Amino acid sequence: MIFTWTPHRFSGGSLALDVANSVILHSGLARRTDRFEVAEQMDAFSKAATQFSAERSLFGEIKPVAEPNRKDFLALREAIDAYFRRRVGGHDDRVLLADLLQACARMLKQSASEATLEAATARSALRLLAETERLKICGNCGWLFLDRSRNRSRTWCDMAVCGNRVKASRHYRRKKEAMP
């Protein structure tokens, strides 16, 4: 399946979270969709990340994942998702943290001097470890995101899509309840 990498797809606030969010319905195996299943999609992601990622100024132009590194890159994505989802729940899982650090080290060892998606993602994940108190999961789509609002009250990843859906649903329920 071909996807278009729009700015909404980069609403995680961190390249590492945007990579983790490349799997739709991560926990629902029956409806799970991996946007990196097709190699061209993964390659297109790096170009879009250069344009839309919140950390684009840190990484500049990002080259696609090198063919020999794809399997390890997907393992890094899974480690990012597993650790930070658990962290949002208030759990500091040292085994998952060790897995994440090991996956980051493997990626940086393979392509540390290159401006590739795998190296940038590993660096982003390491930076993200310092911001876990702002980490949340969208109540609508389940994506991971950084809440950069002043009072940390954001409950959705992107106002234009998920926020709008939540507000419209709430309005519909209120209106329906008010009807005789």
- Which CATH number is 55's domain given? 1.10.3300.10
Quote the pLDDT of residue 1: 60
In a domain, 2, yes or no: no
Residue 70: what pLDDT? 94
Task: Return contacts of 20-25, CB within 8 angstroms, 24+ apart.
Answer: 20/77, 20/80, 20/81, 20/84, 20/144, 21/143, 21/144, 21/157, 22/77, 23/77, 23/81, 24/141, 25/142
- Is residue 1 domain-resident? no
Residue 109 lies in a domain: yes
Q: What is the pLDDT of residue 69?
A: 93
Residue 165: its pLDDT value, please? 66
Q: What is the pLDDT along the chain (180 residues), one digit of tens a residue?
A: 667 888 888 989 999 999 999 998 766 666 778 889 888 999 999 999 999 999 999 998 999 998 999 999 999 999 999 999 999 988 888 999 999 999 999 999 987 677 899 999 999 999 999 988 899 998 888 889 999 888 888 877 877 777 776 677 676 677 778 777
Q: Say what the pLDDT of residue 27 is.
A: 61
What is the predicted pLDDT for the residue at 171? 65
Max Cα distance, the chain (Å): 67
pLDDT score, position 145? 93
Domain with 139 in it: 7-178
pLDDT of residue 116: 93
Tokens standing for residue 67: 């063919």
Q: How far apart are CA 105 and CA 99, in angstroms?
A: 10
Asked whether residue 127 is domain-assigned, the answer is yes
Task: Supply the pTM of this predicted model.
Answer: 0.86
pLDDT of residue 86: 94
The total domain count for the chain is: 1
